[in-house]
A and B are shown apart, each in its own frame.
Chain A
Amino acid sequence: MNYNWNWGVLFEGEYLGWLISGVGWTFAVALAAWVLALAVGVLVGVGRTLPSKPVATLCTAYVELFRNVPLLVQLFLWYFVMPEIVPDDLGRWMKRDMPNPEYVTAVIGLGLYTASRVAEQVRAGINAVGPGLTSAAYANGFSTAQTYRYVLLPISFRLIVPPMTSEFLTIFKNSSLALTIGLLELTAQSQQIAEYTFQGFEAFTAATVIYVVIALGATVIAQTLEKYTRIPGYVGKD
């Protein structure tokens, strides 16, 4: 194989700048989408466990819709189709005046998709707490809201730290799809470096290493979180 290795290219001012900017956008998309996913996902996940039939059905529909349409398709729908089907004024604003449309679209698309997965974890966590404790809380005089606030959510959040960590890692990896709508995040920048310098191996190795470092960091944080939230003597539902 005739390949001129040149790792130095990664540290040349311009290209290093691209990488750093790519990492910045990857974080910006992943973290903002995560916040959105948590907010929507917790609401939808809780909604699926509520006694109210219409609310539960609506939340189930959300999960099935967003979980089953491929993320890439969802991003295209938000980016290319949405501006055409909303009212004219809004559509025009989305196309012309919306600040940083690639970023906003990526956050919304990735956030709402991940929300469906978060919702499933939240629902599973609440169900794992079990009907006995729910009855006990109601019998104690708590309203439905109080039962969730003080009993079901605090326990289920602790139970779902491990699967949520994996969702959190996935959102970083999935954020790379944002390059398809033109966001210059880490993968897109690596690709660009590869095109400019013909050092594709170096560029994508750099991206790989950075993704792995992010994943390791998140895992360490999650393990610490798990340790500090562990309930003494509690092993979940018997």
Chain B
Amino acid sequence: MISIENISKWYGDFQVLTDCTTHVGKGEVVVVCGPSGSGKSTLIKCVNGLEPVQQGRILVEDADVTAKGTNLTRLRSRIGMVFQHFELYPHMSVRENLCLGQQKVLVRSRDEANAKAEALISRVGLLPHIEKFPGQLSGGQQQRVAISRALAMDPIAMLFDEPTSALDPEMINEVLDVMVELAQDGMTMMVVTHEMGFARKVADRVVFMDAGRVVEDRATEEFFGNPESERAQDFLSKILNH
């Protein structure tokens, strides 16, 4: 479904990504982890073309994200994305956050969009808050709304960039629960996260990045059982021992 083939990317002279290759099959969950600054966010932003790459190729289904003539707007409307800082539209109610894309991009009717919004918001237990504004919700609630907003577009895959790392510890699980459920429903997911419990539970593979390179890309049990590289071992021991 998502296939990243030998991509390299530079910010000016600085090479952020070096020859990265990985893939996410239909219905698969792939967790991306690695130290800060290793290029995880950059990699995931390349998948829906938010960041251009200078070398290599990314395919989503049959569309080539990196080719010149590709309709990126259309492609993005089919891939959901969830950010570290939620990025909900602050001037709109939860309902409007969920309906805007449906109505303006997918050209759904107001009733259809509303019905979808209500159904999705009920699923994450926030129906009583549907008329509130993002600023009136807790971080965990905002992130659940953000996930629902992405799902409202009926995406073929979902990208997550550290969805729980801006949250207070007591709110992390309410968001992870939603993501686990989504994974179990068969959603194709690429998730940048340091929540190793989540990775163990639902990830099919773990991609470990360091200094802009994909250092390991292996089945979850293998990765946790005996990571090959020293850097991954280091990283795991640090993250698991606190």
Contact = CB atoms under 8 A, between A and B. Distances in A.
Interface of A: 132-133, 135-143, 146, 150-151, 154-155, 158, 231-235, 238
B134 interface: yes
Interface string B54-90: 0000000000000000000110111111010101111
Chain A interface SS verdict (over half): helix
A141 B74 contact: yes
B149 interface: yes
Contacts of A154: 91
B83 A140 contact: no
A231 B73 contact: no
A142 B104 contact: yes
Contacts of A141: 73-74, 76-78, 101, 105-106, 153
A233 B133 contact: yes
B75 to A, nearest CB: 9
A143 B73 contact: yes
Given A135-B87, A231-B91, 7 more contacts: A133-B89, A139-B79, A140-B105, A140-B150, A141-B76, A141-B101, A233-B135
B237 to A, nearest CB: 32
Contacts of A137: 89
Nearest to A143: B73
B45 A142 contact: no
A39 to B, nearest CB: 23
26 contacts: A132-B87, A135-B45, A135-B50, A135-B83, A135-B87, A136-B88, A139-B48, A139-B150, A139-B159, A140-B76, A140-B100, A140-B150, A141-B74, A141-B101, A141-B106, A142-B73, A142-B101, A150-B100, A151-B89, A231-B90, A231-B133, A232-B133, A233-B133, A233-B134, A234-B133, A234-B134
Contact of B85 (A132, A142, A158): A132
B184 interface: no
B136 interface: yes
Chain B, interface size category, equals 20 to 34
A138 B76 contact: yes
A140 B134 contact: no
Contacts of B79: 139
Nearest to B79: A139
A234 B87 CA distance: 12
A233 B135 CA distance: 4
A15 B134 CA distance: 57
B134 A146 contact: no
A139 B76 contact: yes
A234 B81 contact: no
A76 to B, nearest CB: 43
Nearest to A155: B91
A85 to B, nearest CB: 43
A231 B135 contact: yes
Contact of B90 (A140, A143, A146, A234): A234
Contacts of A143: 73
A136 B83 contact: yes
Nearest to B96: A150
Best-buried of A133, A140, A158, A235 by chain B (most CB within 10 Å): A140
